[in-house]
Amino acid sequence: MFNNFPFHRVNWKTSLFLIFTTLFALVGTPWYFLAFELTTQELIFQLSWFFFFCVATIMSITLGYHRLFSHLSFKAKWPVRLATLVFGAASFENSCLSWASDHRHHHKNCDHDGDPYDISRGFFYAHVGWLLFKLDPMPLQNNVNDLKKDKLVMWQNKWVHLIGLIVGLVIPPIVGYLFFGAQGALGMLILTGFLRIVVVMHCTFFINSLCHTIGKRPYNSDNSARDSGIMAVFTCGEGYHNYHHSFQHDYRNGVKPWQFDPTKWMIWILSKLGLASNLRRVPQEKILLAEMREAQRLIEKKRENAGLNQDAPQEACAARQRAEEVLEGFASTISDLYATVEKSLADKAALSKAKLTEIEGDIHSVVRKISQFKPVLAKAK
């Protein structure tokens, strides 16, 4: 029956860890609540620690491993880096260095060979299957040279399993024992230890599976990444994955005011506390341009499907193309202007007279482009 099973390719260490933590969580949790009668005080204690560890470890992945280390979307002082590396280790999702390397490969080769969690190989593969077998070929860690210079990252890379064990599975039972004896220790081991590890791991796995399956693609339909408000709730804001794949260096994933992105809020709070800086944002007009392009593409697809494309007047098509070019020029000029002014502010250097004249010229060119845009729009009607 198992003659053809590729046992030699099984990643035993990870597979056994995933199987046993899942078993301990699924069997241990109901057993604990049935075997022991918990007082209200004890229940609140257990649930509070469970919740705290869930948030601390998920945020360490989304804010630390992902947006800070993988994408360099902001800079953080050492206490933030240390905290996210320590609690990140307790999420048992491997070291930050390996995680970031895999993730950078994912963005570079999304949906193709070279994407470690390629969704085109199936939902299960992208969710957890890629961890159960040794990847063939193994992704090279040749894309994280910048992180290799970070002493904290390299320290965590060396001791990740020990740190994870102490923080995630040893300290919680000790705290439980100090307050509620052996019963408290057991509860902390099962709930804050194993159950929390399983819940947090699957929340992260959802980003690679569900966030490439469920939701809309308002910014770019060239790849499988999708935006989903529901997924954002389970992933601390990472559910706006289509935006993230379109603008991966933005510290925000949910850019609209109504979108739920606690990781973005936390980064913003840290910046106000002086613990984070250089928060990278994509200019609003670039985001709008991407949305317009995608909407346009959708309309064209619908027209094509309805067989209307041949009937479309050529002139209108050309006008639309021209309108797009003008808008694109408009957006990039504005972005350049932002960049110039931001750089001058960052350098604390006064703008020279020549630079001011150059900016003035750029503004005139934008105004000219806008006036060109009017007749183009009239033709497009």
**Nearest CA-CA partner of 64 in 86, 47, 44, 43:** 86
Is the separation of the CB atoms in 80 and 270 below 8 Å? Answer: yes
Cβ closer to Zn ion: 106 or 320? Answer: 106
Q: Which is nearer to Zn ion, 85 or 225 (CB)?
A: 225
Q: How far apart are CA 253 and CA 182, in angstroms?
A: 43
DSSP string, 143-163: S-HHHHT-HHHHHHHHHHHHH
x/- mask, Zn ion, residues 2-21, rule CB under 5 A, reads --------------------
Shortest Å distance, C-beta 25 to Zn ion: 26
**Which residue stretch of 30-38, 222-230, 249-257, 348-356 sits at the interface with Zn ion (rule: CB under 5 A)?**
222-230
Judged by beta carbon, residue 66 or residue 81, the one nearer Zn ion is 66
Name residues contacting Zn ion, limited to 89-118 (CB under 5 A). none
Write out the two tokens for 372. 């060109």
CA quadruple 242, 248, 249, 254: dihedral, nearest 10: 20
What binding mask, one character per residue, do residues 177-216 give for Zn ion by CB under 5 A, x or -? ----------------------------------------
**Stretch of 8-16, 219-227, 281-289, 366-374 contacting Zn ion, by CB under 5 A:** 219-227
Query: Looking at beta carbons only, is 190 or 225 nearer to Zn ion?
Result: 225
Number of residues engaging Zn ion in binding (CB under 5 A): 1
> Minimum CB separation from Zn ion for residue 115, in Å?
9
Q: Which two tokens stand for residue 144?
A: 């994280």
Quick one: the chain helix, strand, coil %, rounded to 5?
70, 0, 25
Tell me how far CA of residue 2 lies from CA of 5, 6, 208, in angstroms. Answer: 5, 9, 29
Q: Closest approach of Cβ 97 to Zn ion, in Å? A: 16
Q: How far apart are CA 241 and CA 130, in angstroms?
A: 20
Nearer to Zn ion, 197 or 225 (CB): 225
Please say which residue, 50 or 206, places its beta carbon nearer to Zn ion: 206
Instruction: State the distance between the two ends of the chain, measured CA to CA, in whole angstroms.
Output: 67
Please name which of 209, 221, 183 lies closest in space to residue 106, comparing C-alpha atoms. Answer: 209
Binding segment toward Zn ion, per CB under 5 A, in 29-37, 86-94, 217-225, 323-331 = 217-225
> Minimum distance between the CB of residue 262 and Zn ion, rounded to whole angstroms?
17
Q: Which residue has its beta carbon closest to Zn ion?
A: 225
117 vs 180 by CB, closer to Zn ion: 117
Q: Would you tell me the crossing angle of helices 314-347 and 284-305 to the nearest 10 degrees?
A: 160
Binding site for Zn ion (CB under 5 A): 225
